[in-house]
Each structure stands twice: as C-alpha cells, then as structure tokens.
Amino acid sequence: MWQEIISIIQNNRSFVLTSHVNPDCDALGSELALAEHLHLLGKQVTILNSDGTPAAFKFLDPKHKIRRYSPKRHDSIIKKADVIAVLDASGGWSRLGNVGDVLSQAPAQKICIDHHPDATDFVNAAVVDTDAAATGELIFELVQAMGGNFSHHMAQALYAAIVTDTGSFRFPKTSPRTHRITARLLENGADPLKIYTQIYEQNSLGSVRLRGHVLDSIQTAANGQVAYYSLSQKTLKEYGVKSSELDGFASLGQLIGGVRITLFCMEASGGRVKISLRSDGSVAINGIAQTHGGGGHPSAAGALVSGPLKTIVPEILAQVLALFDR
Ligand SMILES: [Mn+2]
C-alpha cells in the first residue's frame, strides 16, 4: 500500500507538509511525526498550515516547527518544493484554507495520507484507509514500512493524534491495530498522563464554571432519551469565555444514562445559531444537520441555522423528537 509514496519520498529532497483548517491533534501530530521522519532521512521539510496551532496543542511542538502560512515568507518555499504532502485532509485543496490555492498551483508532486472517505483526485498519489482510527496510525505504519525509528517526540505526537481522534479509545474505529500501534508508541516513550493533562486539563476557571452552568440547565424529553440545552452570547460574556473554549460542551448530555440524543444550541454571530447533535449510535442524527445545510457523522453532526435561539431550540428539538416516531 505504501510503495508509491515511499518511492516518492526516496526520490525527492524538499517537502512541504500541510493539513486542514482548524488543525486538530491528529493533523498536527501527523505533521510533526512525518516531518521528523523525513528530517532524519536528510530531507528538507516545512510544515505550513493556514490556521495557527490551538493553545492546547502547542506542547506537541516545543521547537515551533509548524508555521502559519504567510504568502510573503512561504510562497518561494512552496514553488521550489519537490513534494507537497496533505495529511488528514482529503476532498480537495479548499479543505486546507488559504494555503490550499498556492499549493494547488505548485509544480511539486502531491500526495495525500488520510482516513476520511473523501476524493483524492487532487493529488498524484494517495493512501486513504478509512479503517484507520486516525491519520496518526497511517503515519506510524509508513515510518515502520520505511524501517524508520520513533523518537520520544514522534511517539508523543502520534499518541496524541490517536488518543484524540479515537475519543480516548472509545470511538467505533478503535481497533486491535490501534492498540498495537499505541503499544509501540508507549515503548518509544509516549507519556499518556502528560498528554491527557496537556490536552484535557488546561481549561480556564471561567469555562469550567460555565460548564457547571450548562450542566445545571440541561432539560430532557422523550422520557429521558433526549437531552437539550443552549447557550447565549450574553452568558458566554458573563463567564468571560470564548466560543473556542467550548470543546466537549456538545456531548455533556450524553453523560446521562438513558440519553440517546443530545442537542446543544449555541448563539453565534450574525443572528445565527450553531446546532450540535450527538447520538449514542442507536439513532442517526446527521440527517437533521443536513436539512439545515450542515453535516457530520451519524453520531456527531452540526449546522449553522439562521434565527433567534428562542425559536431554533424548539424547532430542532421537534425534529429530534420526530426521529422516535418512525
Ligand atoms: Mn483525523
């Protein structure tokens, strides 16, 4: 499966690595681990993302190897690159944000390594494996296929990629393969406690208190099978919390036994409401998101809807309740 990509790596010298907008731990960890592998092979590597690294993930990149794309500083590097590698993002150049336009025009060979089921006709060679729980698993297997070593830093980066994309080893794609790879990462120095603490336990006091406020406001419907709650901009301001700090709020309702679907409505800018839906896997909720121009997976989906919180909440709740009438 890796033959084509390995020969592209062996036959070239300078590489640009990139990933999707709003990079997550899988994107960043995959970039950092592959960059170090290529570096150890004597290659020139630049990591360029359209968006900056979120504060919670900065610990993965203590040497600041990941650069936020700037046309002035990076366009000449992109033009001269032999290979552009797109990680954790298939589907096309638009998924990469503003760096995507420039990369798409570059004369380099283009490769893609991903676990999402989207098109790869925008690159010359791709490994897409939708059975992989994270792109980090695929990077591990590529490095292994090339006989490379895993430094402590690579092990940390790939462990973080896998632990986050599997929801701490609970999502359906979590497999024996996932755990075999993770075992090797632990043997190479990955530190689960440190990674967990860095990713999940660096919240601001305000955001933890806001979580308390939201927990206190949860309502249920359909005999406790549905949990729903909302958050206004006014409350967000009162707690001094940014909307980027609301990771995990959408699934708080799933903490309750018997709840199959959670609906979280969050007042957004421009008179819109961001709706987030979660399911325990027994009911698909992405259909509701799609009717509002959104999308996602059967058990996690969302959309941006125009209208005031007051009317959107009952409207979407009615759609959720209708799922039980079928
Ligand atoms: Mn991923």
Q: Do 270 and 187 sit in the same domain of this protein?
A: no
Indicate which CATH number applies to the domain containing 95: 3.90.1640.10
Query: Among 155, 177, 200, which residue terminates a domain?
Result: 200
Higher pLDDT among residues 56 and 306, named by residue: 306
Between the CA of 112 and the centroid of ligand 1 the distance, in Å, is: 13
Q: Do 89 and 41 sit in the same domain of this protein?
A: yes
Measure the CA–CA gap between 115 and 156, rounded to whole angstroms: 20
Indicate which CATH number applies to the domain containing 259: 3.10.310.30
Encode pLDDT of 127-175 as tens digits.
999 999 999 999 999 999 999 999 999 999 999 999 999 999 998 899 9
The total number of structural domains in the chain stands at 2
Q: Which domain holds residue 23?
A: 3-200
Q: Per the structure block, which two tokens stand in for 5?
A: 């990509």
Encode pLDDT of 232-263 as tens digits.
999 999 999 998 889 899 999 999 999 999 99
Cβ distance 114 to 85 under 8 Å? no
Statement: the pTM of the whole predicted model exceeds 0.75: yes
Between the CA of 46 and the centroid of ligand 1 the distance, in Å, is: 20
Q: Do 209 and 293 sit in the same domain of this protein?
A: yes
Query: Among 200, 234, 268, which residue terminates a domain?
Result: 200
Q: Do 20 and 158 sit in the same domain of this protein?
A: yes
Between the CA of 195 and the centroid of ligand 1 the distance, in Å, is: 17
Query: Among 178, 200, 222, which residue terminates a domain?
Result: 200
Measure the CA–CA gap between 42 and 13, rounded to whole angstroms: 8
Pairing type for strands 109-114 and 83-87 reads parallel
Between the CA of 299 and the centroid of ligand 1 the distance, in Å, is: 16
What average pLDDT does the segment 114-130 reach?
A: 93
Q: At what angle do helices 152-165 and 192-200 cross, to 10 degrees?
A: 50
CA 128 to chain centre: 16
Between the CA of 61 and the centroid of ligand 1 the distance, in Å, is: 18
Q: Do 249 and 303 sit in the same domain of this protein?
A: yes
